[in-house]
Amino acid sequence: MKLGRKITGGKYHRLRKRKLFERQGQENLVTLGETKRKILRVSGGNFRTILLRSNIVNVLAKGKVQQVTIKNVEETPQNKFLARQNRLVKGAIIDTSLGHARITNRPSREGYVNAVLIEK
């Protein structure tokens, strides 16, 4: 059976095009570098701040939050190539001035990077 065809051989036609809110947005990957943000207009006329590059992270260490600099991305569990490109994604282990930390939020959706210090 050919895809998109009826049993008689006729074509199925799409009823309508996708609406603007149904279309998929462009993928946003945050890299290590001088902090840069972008403001997007989203549904309802609201605005969302997304992160494009960052070298600052909010690290939770011993019950207190500190802002420290990111030195390098050590490893990324979901894809080793993202660590080679210094991409900041949720679950990535980064090297900071305090030590190794794991990113706990999604920097591509939010305008900042949060992490928890890893005890070794």
The β-bridge relationship of strands 64-75 and 56-61 is: antiparallel
- Residue 35 confidence (pLDDT) above 60: yes
- Residue 85 confidence (pLDDT) above 80: yes
Give pLDDT tens digits for 7-25: 898 988 889 998 988 888 8
Among the listed residues 97, 95, 94, 96, the one whose alpha carbon sits nearest the alpha carbon of residue 105: 94
Give pLDDT tens digits for 41-73: 988 999 999 999 999 999 999 999 999 999 999
Domains of the chain: 20-117 (3.10.290.70)
- Residue 76 confidence (pLDDT) above 90: yes
Whole-angstrom Cα distance, residue 9 to residue 18?
26
Contact 95, 71 (CB under 8 A): yes
Token pair belonging to 107: 């920097």
